[in-house]
Structure 1
Amino acid sequence: MTLKKLRKKYKMWLTLAFVFLVLMFVLMRLQVDGWVEICMGATFLCLVMVIYVMLRYGRCRVCYNLLDPYVLFHGGHCKFCGTPVEDGEEKRLIFRNMREMTEDEINGFLQDGWKIGCAVDTEKEQQELLEALSHSKETGFPQFVLVYEKNVLIGYLFLYGEEGQTWIVHNADEKTYEQEKEMLAYGRDLCRSLGSEKLAESFQKQLGEVKRMGKSHREAWEAWTAEKSGNKKEN
């Protein structure tokens, strides 16, 4: 849910709660039996929905802590991880940290990983992956994240930290324009929340390239290949 929709839903329930509350007091002064209890119940329901909306949707998209109401409705940064709170496009993807996944979900990835170019074929490779996952930290590196769209596994973000040669491994550059932007933005914000501006800058650089091109890296490659093939036919 975008912040624009969140504000609209929050204000709707808050307005209804106020209206029913005023109506309840009016009916109490007029001593109208029956309707006072109905208005009281409606007021309570609306207040419950206000709280539910804030608890369900009013969280930071990176650290998942509750956002300050002023920051949520007027802009700013999450006080826990510093992620900017701003309006954006409706989020299409779901990011699941493998550290938080069940054994069945991990086994599903081991079976379907080849579909996203992350094959885990042998039992030895499976054991190596599970061993790596056991070292995944809650507030540091490495971080292993799987990406889903409509409950279908489409991608991964493996963040190993700033040490060693391989820092970041992902398949965002194989996705569509919108998918790549969202995956890179998530990786940037996650690295920033973990205190690695170096890795966050790496994601930001890739994200900037995608936005300048106006298409994903995969789409740019396909367009270049098609153009090259067309030039060969003309010659």
Structure 2
Amino acid sequence: MIEIKNFSLFIDEKKILNNLNLTLKTKQKIALLGQSGSGKSLLARAILGLLPQNAITSGEIQSNQKFGVILQNPASCFDGIFTLKEHFLETLKAHHLETLSSDKWGLEEVGLKKEILDSYPFELSGGMLQRAMIALSICIKPDFIIADEMTSDLDCLGVWQISNLLLNLQNKMGFGMLFITHDLFLAHKMAEEIIILHNGEIIEQGNRDEIFKTPKHTKTKELLFENERLLNTPWGDFRGNFA
């Protein structure tokens, strides 16, 4: 469980997050939805303990979870001078799992062959690197995975494949998931609960279907209205067909 209590964040004296109170339960699938600049990614970094040096915080974040992390733009998350095998070995060493055999590194689960371990990041496509990052996240047997805009660099087919892959892994392994996105389709597909963040504040939180059907906050209504043409089409209302 992750407990966030009265948490505020300032960067260079600018308030980014304002008095957040939030509980993320183990095995729960949550989507953090908000426009660019709402504070989504910095909240994720705060949970992971990876805030920049110029950050000032108040309140507290309590957690005893082991985290896996999946980020956007996977090419920038790998060091080009090391093979994938070296990345896996370094990750496992950091979690005291050096003895874990390579057949348990999660490659097969994400649709990659073992031979890919000898490849350098620049030799692989964005989709393959994203799968490798997912494998890196699950090989440590996480309690919770934070996925921050993980599909932003993929085409439509890649988005569908990778999101399905992560959902299948979550169902199989039972880890909790915080899925950070600005995409309404993905938020509805990936989560059971939705949290709407606007200007650093939680403006709405609750069951996915209830929020999409009967939003309460004005900004939530605006966010849904902006995407109404995508959701309600001549072929039907896609809101009932996300999951």
Instruction: Tell whether the structures are fold-level matches, with TM greater than 0.5.
Output: no
> TM-score category by the smaller chain?
0.3 to 0.5
Higher alpha-carbon Rg: 1
TM-score (norm 2): 0.35
Return the structure number with greater helix share: 1
More strand by share: 2
